[in-house]
Amino acid sequence: MITRRDLIKLGGLGLGLVLLPEGFKLVKASENPQIKPHLWASITKDNYLMLLVNKSEMGQGVYTGLSMIVADELDFPWDRVIVKSAPARDVYIDKKMGSQLTGGSTSVRNMYEFLRLLGASVKEMILESASREWKVPKEKLQARMGYVSYANKKVSYGELWEKALKLPIPTQVRLKEPSEFIYIGKGVPRIDTQEKVEGKAIFGIDVRLKDMVYAVVERPPYFGAKVKSVDDSQARQIKDLLDVFTISSGVAVCAKTVEGALKGREKLKVEWTKSPLEGFDDERLSQYYLDMLKKKGVVARKDGNPTLLLENTKRKISAVYLLPYLYHATMEPMACVVDVKEDRCTVYAPVQAQTWTLQTAKSITGLPEDKIEVYTTYLGGGFGRKSNVEFVKEALEISKKLKKPVKLIYTREDDVKSGWYRPMNATHLEGALDEKGRVVALYHKIAVPAVFEWAGRPSRVDRAAVEGIENMFYEIPHVHVEFVKVDLPIPVWFWRSVGSTHNAFTLETFIDRLAHLGKRDPVELRLELLKNHERAKKVIEVVAEKAGWGKRPMYGEAMGLAYHYSFGSHVAQVVEVSLNKNTGEIKVHRVVCAIDIGPLVVHPDLLVSQVESAVIMGLSATLKEKVSFSKNGPSSLNFDTYPILTMAEAPQVEVHIVKSDGPMGGVGEPALPPVAPAVANALLWGYGIQINNLPMAPEVIKSLL
């Protein structure tokens, strides 16, 4: 993390940025005391490049991917690059998102052009400094690996940096041609590996401050219930306990030790108001969602007249799908440290959303932004969950009340009980073929909570609810897409690949069922539906070839294919599966993936790692994951009742990068949505099973057999 001392030390020696109405402008930090803390790049006298990165590192390699872009344009040695997390300030926002936020698979594609400009500008200023000092035309100088040289002269960037900062910032710079790249497209060692291996990396739970105390929160058994009364008489007998009081989300229990806080919570007697969800167990929730499909929704897309066509054709099918709430299951549950004083607030937190964290701190403390410091630690997994800063809000409330620095810790059970799941949803699909087996009509109606509304961005049609359907590339003459908003007090949030997680499953399995109805090869049918979309066609063609489509599987007994477009990238996958008919257990042996993110891949190894991790997470949700509910609330509160994929169950994953013309797409999420439908499609063609519900638990598969 970057500290205040670091910022003050570097304040006069860095290249900063200001945000103007027309866009970004680079400035010297020494020009204006107001922007001293808002540095992006600085070079030390002993020739180290210090970069502040405005995206959160949660294992995806963003510190490496973003900093290598600057280092490449600057022509700087990778082993002398130091990366710190940027503080929460408007100057560090992702301009394309309008927020300092890590999500939507946007980090590299949104920051790429700016970071190249930053690196090239620093290099130009250093060259200009050397040119003036040596009285040599700039064109005759060479800047290479952190040194400027001419004839027998050679000097480090660090020795020129202070003089360079006295020069005007160039209004125009030359960016490298791809053939000149030294890192981009080739990759470098991850910058965060060493400190993680050595145990020096600081995560949210690792932060310690002087006089810090600990807190946990007792939450209602079911969502929507509020504190009615609290009997803390037994809790206050605990030796280390400091205080018990209500906050917005429940009852805070504070102690000198973690153990004291947990023991104190065990002794609490809290009476809650009745939850509006009381009695909503799995069965009742399922029926509620299915009933919502009978209601009229909002039309998100309408091409032609699919309803009329479906009424008057014989070659048609329909299906109703029901998919569960999903928990993010980050390795590190929520934890943060907050210190609220009368005149200053400090937050140390593993968050994906620095802007929202800063806004929350302003709201709770009443302090201005310049009195609030937000330091982002490493995240032990994020997947969208840590863009929700409700846990920081709780810690702010507790610290403000106690007037002490507080470490708030969630147990795994706390994490599940707090909610913020991937939404449950029900979908009704109908489709029709003409006499030649071509898809001519598709009707898609989904009942689902509005994720963006929960994030404070309501709209008539929730974007997440219909993504991947409303904007699909399949060319079908008659299409109807409808959204029915489900309003339940079960908190929902962005889960890795958001609405595409459920919409890819329903659409892609239904496409295969239409292929089955028309006796068409599913690859052939998709290529026909995508005849005018070369990028989409290409990933399907590549994955079919690499997987040996049409041949006997190498490892499993059946093959399935799925394609999906999300976050600017095209992905197609083929899986090989086998099924134990006696136990109902599915084994996924091999996943072959083709991904097209555009013409340029900044770090190929990071792309492959992200695809592999998305496949594993998607497969875990496919086969195992579901938040279950009893009549009194969530009942799958830890990994004994919310199982995830194990290492022994992980398949072989092959990744093939397909390059194309077009804008750069994202990497972190697009490979997740196709996994589940590819597995379901393998079961359809190999075993004659149609999967309408997830997860594919053995007992469900046995009942279908």
At residue 169, the pLDDT reads 79
Peptide bond into 449 cis (omega under 30): no
User: Is the CATH code 3.40.50.261 the one for domain 4-197?
Assistant: no
DSSP string, 2-47: --HHHHHHHTTSEEEEEEETTEEEEEEGGG-GGGTT-EEEEE-TTS
Between 29 and 592, name the one with better pLDDT. Answer: 592
In CATH, what number does 204-274+334-409 get? 3.30.365.10
**In the predicted structure, residue 26 carries a pLDDT above the cut 70:** no
- The CATH classification number of 282-325+421-704 equals 3.30.365.10
Could you tell me the pLDDT band of residue 1, with boundaries at 50, 70 and 90?
low
The pairing of beta strand 335-340 with beta strand 406-409: antiparallel
- What is the arithmetic mean of pLDDT over 72-90? 95
Helix/strand/coil for 542: helix
pLDDT tens-digit readout, 445-454: 999 999 999 9
The pLDDT of residue 162 is above 90 = no
The per-residue b/e assignment along 65-103, b for 16 or more CB within 10 angstroms, e otherwise, is: bbbbbbbbbbbbbbebbebbbbbbbebbbbeeeebbbbb
Average pLDDT over residues 346-358: 98
Q: Which amino acid is at 31?
A: E
What pLDDT was estimated at residue 172?
86
Domain boundaries, the chain: 4-197, 204-274+334-409, 282-325+421-704
How would residue 622 be classed by pLDDT, with cut points 50, 70 and 90?
very high
Q: Is the pLDDT at 165 greater than 60, yes or no?
A: yes
Q: DSSP letters along 235-271, please?
A: GGGSTTEEEEEEETTEEEEEESSHHHHHHHHHT-EEE
Query: Tens of pLDDT along 627-677?
Result: 999 999 999 999 999 999 999 999 999 999 999 998 999 999 999 999 999
pLDDT given at position 28: 54
- Count the residues in the chain: 705
Give 459-515 pLDDT, tens digit per residue. 999 999 999 999 999 999 999 999 999 999 999 999 999 999 999 999 999 999 999
Q: What is the pLDDT of residue 634?
A: 97
In our burial notation (b when 16+ CB lie closer than 10 A, e otherwise), range 431-448 reads bbbeeebbbbbbbbbbbb
pTM of the model: 0.94
Pairing of strands 213-218, 49-53: unpaired
Contact 243, 213 (CB under 8 A): no
The C-alpha angle with vertex 418 and arms to 105 and 250, in degrees rounded to 5, equals 140
Worst-scoring range by mean pLDDT, 15-19, 69-73, 307-311, 509-513?
15-19
**Rounded mean pLDDT of the chain?**
94
DSSP 222: S
- Are 512 and 684 contacting, i.e. CB atoms less than 8 angstroms apart? yes
In the predicted model, what is the mean pLDDT of residues 345-356? 98
pLDDT at 526 over 60: yes
- Residue 424 · residue 289 · CB < 8 Å: yes
> Average of pLDDT values for 229-247?
97
- Please name the residue that has the structure tokens 């998919």: 323
- The answer to whether residues 499 and 318 touch, using CB atoms and an 8 Å cutoff, is no
Cα-Cα-Cα-Cα torsion 526, 529, 535, 537, nearest 10 degrees, comes to 40
282-325+421-704 matches 4-197 in CATH topology = yes
**What residues contact residue 326 under an 8 Å CB cut-off, 6+ apart?**
421, 422, 495, 501, 621, 625, 626, 627
pLDDT bucket at 166, cuts 50 / 70 / 90: confident
Give percent of the chain with pLDDT exceeding 90. 89
Beta-strand ranges (E) seen in 97-159 are 142-144, 147-150, 153-156
How much is the pLDDT for 34? 45
Residue 305: how many CB atoms within 10 A of its CB? Answer: 13
Higher pLDDT among residues 16 and 519, named by residue: 519
Per-residue pLDDT, 31: 52
Residue whose token pair is 């009509």: 441
Question: What are the C-alpha distances in Å from 647 to residues 35, 89, 327, 620?
Answer: 48, 40, 19, 11
Amino acid letter at 344?
A: R
Name the strand (E) or helix (H) holding 52: strand 49-53
Predicted confidence (pLDDT) per residue in 362-394, tens digit: 999 999 999 999 999 999 999 999 999 999 999
* Residues above pLDDT 70, as percent of the chain: 94
